[in-house]
Amino acid sequence: MDTEPSPLIVPPVRDWSELPLDALSTIFMKLGTIEILMGAGLVCRSWLVAAKSPELWRFVDMTHHQMIFSMNVGPETLCAMAKVAIDRSDGRMESFRAQMFVTSELLDYIVSRANSLKSIQLTNCLYLWTHKLGRFASQCPLLEEIEFSHQKMLPELIRHLGSVHPNLKCLRISLPSVYEGGVHREYDESWEEMKNEEAFAIAESLHELRFLQMAGRCLSNKGVYAIIKGCPHLECLDITKCCDVDVDDKLRARCAKIKCVLLPKQMGWSSLPGSSCQIEDKAKTTISP
What integer pLDDT is reported at residue 181 of this predicted model?
47
> pLDDT by residue for the chain (289 residues), tens digit each?
556 666 666 556 555 556 666 667 677 777 888 888 887 656 667 778 778 889 889 999 999 999 999 989 999 999 999 999 999 999 999 999 999 999 999 999 999 999 999 999 999 998 888 889 999 999 999 999 999 999 888 999 999 999 999 999 999 999 986 544 444 445 566 777 888 999 999 999 999 999 999 999 999 999 999 999 999 999 999 999 998 999 999 999 999 999 999 999 766 554 443 445 543 333 333 433 3
Confidence at residue 11, expressed as pLDDT on a 0 to 100 scale: 59
Residue 14: predicted pLDDT: 57
For residues 152 and 14, give the distance between their C-alpha atoms in angstroms, rounded to a whole number.
53
Q: Give the C-alpha separation, 242 to 270, whole Å.
A: 15
Cα–Cα distance between 270 and 186 in angstroms, integer? 31
E strand map for the chain = 59-62, 95-99, 119-123, 145-149, 170-172, 211-213, 236-238, 260-262, 285-286
Which of 37, 45, 38 has the alpha carbon at shortest distance from 19?
A: 45
Residue 20 confidence (pLDDT): 61
How many residues would you count in the chain? 289
Give the whole-angstrom CA distance, residue 103 versus residue 128.
6
Task: Determine the distance from the C-alpha atom of residue 7 to the mean position of all C-alpha atoms in its chain, rounded to a whole number.
Answer: 56
Identify the pLDDT of residue 256. 94
Residue 280: its pLDDT value, please?
35
φ and ψ at residue 78, rounded to 5 degrees: -65, -40
Predicted local distance difference test score (pLDDT) of residue 18: 62
Spatial separation of the C-alpha atoms in residues 123 and 147, rounded to whole Å = 7
Residue 217: predicted pLDDT: 93
Instruction: Please state, in angstroms and rounded to a whole number, the distance separating the CA atoms of residues 126 and 286.
Output: 34
Question: Based on the number of CB atoms within 10 Å of its own CB, is 256 exposed (0-12), middle (13-18) or buried (19 or more)?
Answer: exposed
Q: What is the per-residue pLDDT for 53?
A: 86
